[in-house]
Amino acid sequence: MVVANNSDLTYKSGNAGVHPPSEAFLWNLLNQIPDPDIPVVSIVELGLVREVKITDKLKAEVTITPSYSGCPAQSVFTDDIKSLLKQNGFNEVEVKVALSPAWTTDWLSNDTKEKMRLHGIAPPENEPEAEALFCKQNKVKCPRCGNTNTHIISRFGSTPCKALWYCNYCSQPFEYFKCF
């Protein structure tokens, strides 16, 4: 279970009418929910949360765009969003799904990619369109040594959105977060 850990931002439900929670507070809560497939980054860092809105009577509306259709992780983090926001004073939580514009790895910041690399997951490097259309993935850098002397072992890693690669230089396998 995910619990908010920043006490300064913890919403005091007793103040409902006087100090309604801000959208910044809501973003901060969502940024504490790890992505189920890549727990080192949050669903906000991955760009899965597109929009938040707080309506009257402490209802939160969160719009998400799944990283790819049929992603089994989606129902996991939808439940996480609902339980965390309810624990933090929201009466009602609605999670909406927006499929357009489609999620793209372009929404990952350089900081997020660096975070993935530090945890041994190669972030997407290629142009998403080129890779999706032509399965072009000839230059995946090893997250450990940065060498491109690598080859693919399996198109699917521990989850469908990752592939398993092998670094010929380190003689170690690593996961590559695929482009979509």
Q: How far is the CB of 147 from Zn ion (least distance, A)?
A: 5
User: Is 9 or 170 the residue whose CB approaches Zn ion more closely?
Assistant: 170
Q: Site for Zn ion (CB under 5 A): which residue of 10, 144, 148, 173?
A: 144
User: Is 169 or 180 the residue whose CB approaches Zn ion more closely?
Assistant: 169
Q: Does 95 bind Zn ion (CB under 5 A)?
A: no
Q: How far is the CB of 85 from Zn ion (least distance, A)?
A: 41
User: Is 73 or 121 the residue whose CB approaches Zn ion more closely?
Assistant: 121
Cβ–Cβ under 8 Å, residues 96 and 82: no
Q: Site for Zn ion (CB under 5 A): which residue of 145, 159, 164, 173?
A: 145
Tell the residue number behind the tokens 């973003």, with chain if given.
Answer: 27
Q: Cβ–Cβ contacts within 10 Å for residue 73, how many?
A: 19
User: Is 50 or 117 the residue whose CB approaches Zn ion more closely?
Assistant: 117
Q: Does 167 bind Zn ion (CB under 5 A)?
A: yes
Question: x/- string (CB under 5 A) for Zn ion, residues 146-165?
Answer: -x------------------
- Exposure b/e, 156-178, CB count within 10 A at least 16 = b: ebeeebbbebbbeeeeeebbbbb
User: Is 34 or 143 the residue whose CB approaches Zn ion more closely?
Assistant: 143
Stretch 51-70 residues interacting with Zn ion (CB under 5 A): none
Site for Zn ion (CB under 5 A): how many residues?
7
Q: How far is the CB of 123 from Zn ion (least distance, A)?
A: 15
Residues engaged in binding Zn ion (CB under 5 A)? 142, 144-145, 147, 167, 169-170
